[in-house]
Structure 1
């Protein structure tokens, strides 16, 4: 008797979820639910975006977050403030902080103890709000320093991801390989390059069993980006099903 192959999956996520971007999150979630036929996506929650939008003080948004979780949306801890307030040592870290994000690589330069504290505080807050365990931790801008990598294992998160993979922090096992498809809205050049990458990815990533796609609140400022996100979702869903990060753990 032949063993059937597991379904090919698309993992979709909305980053920077919190009170600061409520309208933008609504628009992105509505688009995902329409294209994915339900709440088959993840939300990456920031407890206090740039120390200006504390989730702990917004009961209305807390209720909405719990509602999404109750319906099946996976919830990840996405840093604490999403702001990089460190002075980076070393050319590589400085390059990443300067070129790969606009001052938002919060966990790139943190030491192990401080990274663990922010992870722990974020997890406690979000789990209290949604009434269930979080799915994992994903650093802002997908950037991790050595301290953050060690803290991930210390804190026992089930899953983590960066630009190129999803892994299990407790033992470092890689669960998915392949670049995440995302868009950039900060400048005309970044928009153009992200549109070009998405067009390439719609063909180049087809052989992968799991494809990841991520959107951000800033994407809603550009009709061209929104149209391309929808186009990319449709292309990947032609031969795969909406998945959950928990599927990678056999859940």
Structure 2
């Protein structure tokens, strides 16, 4: 009987040891899971970093991700410099030299036709073949695609303007009025071509600078957006909410 008790005691001890090991393994796995959750939480927070204008794609994808995006973000420096240099030359030609577009087009056509005409008639004297001028045909579908895209954009703009005019979105109304006022003020400072050139230069400089320093710009933009939202809330509470537009909305509805 004593021998049986001695044999059962080690068996019970080994069983208790196995149970304790399982409990220890479960505790360690649960602690490791909690540690992993703690490690993952900063990564989840990092993924929710504020981006300017709420974008979720890289800057290159925002601009379409094609050749125009490469030009605007200076992926191809030679091509970007050539495009910006051409725009600068056009601006200098029309604004500083005060050359006219119609005169420029006519002079270019005169020069090109003169060179081709003389080359075609003098090829037998200079022992060179006459220039091969390809036939140019403009396809109808290309114009239809451009017209369709332009029509969609114009219709969408008319829809937004109609909603604003009917008083359905006061915030959008204030934003459009402020934007038009800023454009009118800037337009009084310079000519239309100069304004287009300034916008063109900004498109070739601001995006690439933002892409290089977006980690610094985004937090500052977030603070500015929060402050602007706070100021708009104060304006809405003290002024905009007191404007009687409820009856007008009821009639329109």
TM-score (norm 1): 0.21
Larger relative contact order (Cα-Cα within 8 Å, sequence gap ≥ 6):
2
Greater per-residue helix proportion? 2
> If you compute each CA radius of gyration, which structure gives the higher value, 1 or 2?
2
What TM-score, normalized to structure 2?
A: 0.21
User: Which structure has more strand as a fraction of its residues?
Assistant: 1
